[in-house]
Amino acid sequence: MKKLLICLFITVIFSSNYFFLNNFINTTYAQQKPVPSYAKWGQIAIQKTKEKYPQAKIIDYLHIGSDKKENTSLEKFKLWLKQNNKEFGVFVDILFDSKTEQIIDVKLRETTRG
């Protein structure tokens, strides 16, 4: 009987630790960073770059910054692409209406420098 109680006690301890650790791990993974305000525009920058360079692979992405005026906003990105054996950068500027978020203009400019 004593051995049975010891086994039961050990089982309860290990089970509770498993559930505690499992819950702790799930909670830790659930705490993610907030989505940045430029994320929507970054997706558009990637989309426009893929349209212009369909054979290239995007290997890096950088949000350069924002420029907000009274009625318009400008989001600036730099994407690094690889096509065949060539690597190059593409600057993407997205100008949009600040209130409606309607895109006014998208400019892509290629660069060979880092």
Most confident of 30-34, 96-100, 108-112: 96-100
Q: Do residues 58 and 79 touch, judged by C-beta distance below 8 A?
A: yes
Q: Who's near 3: CB < 8 A, 6+ residues apart?
A: none
Residues of the chain above pLDDT 90, percent: 64
The residue to which tokens 């190059």 are assigned: 88
Query: Of 88, 94, 96, 87, nearest to 108 (Cα)?
Result: 94
Alpha carbon 20 to chain centroid, angstroms: 30
Q: What is the pLDDT of residues 21-63, one digit of tens each?
A: 455 455 555 567 898 889 999 999 999 999 999 999 999 999 9
Mean pLDDT of the chain: 82
